[in-house]
Amino acid sequence: MKDKLIDLFEYTYHFNVEMIKVISENRKLVDDKTISLINHTLNAQQIWNARILGEPTFEVWQVNSFESLNEINHQNFVKSIEIVKDSDLEKRIEYQNSRGTKFENSIFEMLFHAINHSTYHRGQINSLLKQNGIEPILTDYIFYKR
């Protein structure tokens, strides 16, 4: 199971890099919603990692400097892999969402959610890219594995 999660985080990292690159190359054509979504995608992974590790979290919709996005993506990747390797994935963690409501989930559930959440928002970003005349990135997992 740990190897599969690592593979999925490698996939997530790879396509976050590609999204940041295509946005960077087309900054003049990219709308504010696209910038907001790429930031939200990265912020969410940071938040889930931080909840697991008991560290301070980003704000869900904070907009980071565009120049920092690759570093945030890299740090997210490193921490996610560290969590996978060093944690009991069945361990349950209590945390609060951004509204202060308390929840409890396993580390596996939290990590899988972070991966799935990123995939969802990259799909939204691709739709926005296409609407703005930018060629979307083919981000399907199966193509990544070929």
Domain that holds residue 6: 2-145
Does 113 appear as a known binding residue?
A: no
Instruction: Give the residue from 42, 65, 46, 43 showing the smallest Cα distance to 55.
Output: 46
**Count of domains in the chain?**
1
Does 74 appear as a known binding residue?
A: no
For the domain that residue 32 is a member of, what is the CATH number? Answer: 1.20.120.450
Is residue 98 very low, low, confident or very high in pLDDT (cuts 50, 70, 90)?
confident
Q: What's the rounded Cα separation, in Å, for the pair 143 and 146?
A: 5
Q: H or E element: which one contains 104?
A: strand 102-106
Q: Is the dihedral of CA 13, 136, 43, 117 positive or negative?
A: negative
Confidence (pTM)? 0.96
Does 14 appear as a known binding residue?
A: no
What digits encode the pLDDT tens for the residues 117-133?
Answer: 999 999 999 999 999 99
> What phi, psi does 103 have (nearest 5°)?
-140, 170
